[in-house]
Amino acid sequence: MKKRVTCVLLVVLLLMVQVPSVFAATVDSGKCGDNLTWTLDDDGTLTISGTGSMMDFEGPKGMDLTMSTGSPWIGHRNEVIHVIIGEGVTNISRWAFAYCFNMISVSIPESVTSIEYRAFFNCSSLTNVSIPASISDIGMGAFESCHSLTNVSIPNGVSKISSYAFAYCKGLTNVTIPDSVTVIESYAFSAFQGEANLKHLYYGGSQKDWESIQIEMGNGNLNNATIHYNSSGSDNNPALEPVTPAPTTNNDISKYSFAFINNAPSFGYPVIYHFPLKIFQLVYGEQFANKMKEYDFRLGDWGGNCYGLATTAAMLARAGSNVTPSGFRDGATRPGELQVSDTNAELGLTLKEFIEAMQISQYSATFAATHKQNKDNLSGLLAAISAFESGGIGPLVICVHGYMNGGYGGHALLAYRLDGQRLYVYDCNYPNDGNRYITISESGWSYQMFDNLTWSNTNGGSIAFIPYETYLWEWYNRGHLLGDPDKLRQVLFFIDAADATITDSRGNEVATFQNGRMVSGIYDAYPVVRLGITADGVSAPSQIAVWLPYNNEYKVTSKENATISVISADLDVPVKSVAGGQTVSVSLSASPQFEDVSPGQYFYEPVTWAVGRGITNGTTPTTFSPQNTCSRNHILTFLWRANGSPAASVRNPFTDIDTSKDFGKAALWAYENGLVSGQQFNGGTPCSRADVVTYLWKLAGRPVAGGNKFSDVPPGAEYAAAVSWAVSRGITKGTSDTTFNPSGTCTRGQIVTFLHRAYADN
């Protein structure tokens, strides 16, 4: 790649993606277990060496793909191409390679016995994986959303295929299952609606053996396959069906002349247009569509389809050459990652409807979190586009925002080539103009939208980028973008005003808007800026849209008369009105209204959060009993649920638990994770303050923190490191400035407060 770069920033960034030398240089390295190290070379090879198990890694916070802790190589997730796990490594830890979107191969040795929870989640470029015979456990969601995975062979000896293990692997056509499997848990092989893909299933036993397997719900995709009994999928059995390779990526999209433009006449829109209800239902699910029937949200007003057009153009470009929009309209086959009117999809969408679906998907929590993460991050933008030009996964959607027509508007562009200070873009307002570009220099950026309008960082504008995998995720997770308790804990909050302030029940500022733009806010308040500029320069109506954390009491003060609407599948929040200069309260809580839990109490928010997350319930329908003592049974069950209620793979070492109940399942999980030991669980034992911080500390990977100030915590105490860590994280402050009271028993109110601080506020 040859470029002339006129600023130091660009030189530094582009040097990172030049052709590698003969000998690969080390990009980064470190430890990933007590006796394990990792090394990433500049050719994209990640090597894990040593003996023993990987440490547990922390998953993402909400829908933020950056993972606050994550694996030690998570900052290089887009650079990982090949993974080599050395002989001697005994497991692939939870979340180990999640979101390594560009990883195409992994080598797993015979020493590995388990692939744990979501280890390869959303590794969308992974084409095939050889699972060694040593594997006895494939964890929940281990290969979920590995879209390019085509053939999978489960090794003999595996008795259970966990929930979501191969869910939404849309390219998976052949699977081999041994007769050792007795249980296929829920959604292990689930597919997206209309995208049933499995064609051949090679089973090691007889038809009678197959019919005796416990196959739980959500595995209808198995019914679509031809089952070959008494087959191992080897050469003397029916051959695995060959899979047609995906089209080669063509990174130069400048030659495309897309035949659609971002104005109302090109779509046949009337002056006032609302997207059809079925499009909302497709993208956000049935429950949300029912909400749309109840309230007239202005989300559907037509203000330009720039985001929908840009993302659609990106998917077309990803498919390679000889693809035009007209190919969508009548029975087209799948172009690259995009499946719109393929006759097998049974979605029956026109191109216009698909673009509309992509347009409104920008209101997803995924889009909002990614937009916030990448806002005004020019170095990240340049690195991402350079990686794309070097053969990366897909082009970027650029979101530029600024003032126009007296308000704050936005526009979406598709970036595909960097030449010096010019970042060339496809602009759907000018689809045949191949000379449109964003200027990027040491002083910032600028984009001339119209003859009389230039947006830039110098006049209050902002710029963000949305990676290809984000909008691809939006498409393949359609129907689950709002209100799905497994995917997000936030709700979409609308105010049809330009200036407003939102505070929580404690009076803390959550978000402040001026001229339709969020100027300040807490970490997990994600603004949604309408990207709806039409070719004639008309922007969408002024309206604040922001994702807010679930389960809270918010107060909204508006500068002008306004209405407030909340979109959530499982909350029934009526539309409220607020007069200019006044304040109104809005409760976003699906939890029961307990008589003994009131706003203002320290455990009020933690209780509503924990109940909303399904971590705990009340002791009765109307009481929570926050002062009741919390036992070992309770705290470990709460922790188990807070971590996704994973199934343990160890035998029951305890003589005093029933593993069919939640307490028992939590005890096995706690034993497997080193939280408890012995043969007696003693679940009725009261939980002490030292116990709870120790459990949390161990689950966090036993991180090292500084010393503590408490006179009743000796430096040599087994819980001393846990106390120091908990204080450093703000999980506890102690019972006084100088005491922690490690042996003090915890109440239900205190326990959920610890959990809330550990899992919700960080």
**DSSP code per residue over 219-273:** -GGGGGSEEETT--SSTTSPPPPP-PPPPPP----TT---S--SSHHHHT--SS-
pLDDT for 31-49, tens place per residue? 999 999 999 998 889 999 9
Q: Find where tokens 């497997």 sit.
A: 672
Distance separating alpha carbons of residues 723 and 741, to the nearest angstrom: 11
- pLDDT of 10 > 80? The answer is no
| β-pairing verdict for 137-138 and 226-228 | unpaired
3-state secondary structure 165-216: CCCCCCCCCEEEECCCCCEECCCCCCCCCCCCCCCEEEECCCHHHHHCCEEC
pLDDT for 112-124, tens place per residue? 999 998 899 888 7
- pLDDT of 748 > 70? The answer is yes
Percent of the chain with pLDDT over 90: 18
pLDDT for 680-734, tens place per residue? 888 888 888 989 989 988 888 888 877 777 888 888 888 888 888 888 888 888 8
How confident is the prediction for the chain on average, in pLDDT?
79
Distance separating alpha carbons of residues 150 and 170, to the nearest angstrom: 8
Contacts of 408 (CB under 8 A, 6+ apart): 401, 402, 498, 515, 516, 517, 529, 542
Residue 392 has, within 13 A of its CA and on its CB side, a CA count of 23
Distance separating alpha carbons of residues 416 and 314, to the nearest angstrom: 9
Q: Look at residue 334 in the predicted model and tell me its pLDDT.
A: 33
Domains of the chain and any CATH numbers: 264-476 (no CATH), 490-588 (2.60.40), 604-759 (no CATH)
Q: Find where tokens 């929580």 sit.
A: 504
Distance separating alpha carbons of residues 348 and 330, to the nearest angstrom: 10
Average pLDDT over residues 290-299: 62
Contacts of 56 (CB under 8 A, 6+ apart): 93, 94, 673, 699, 701
Position 434, amino acid: G
- pLDDT of 336 > 50? The answer is no
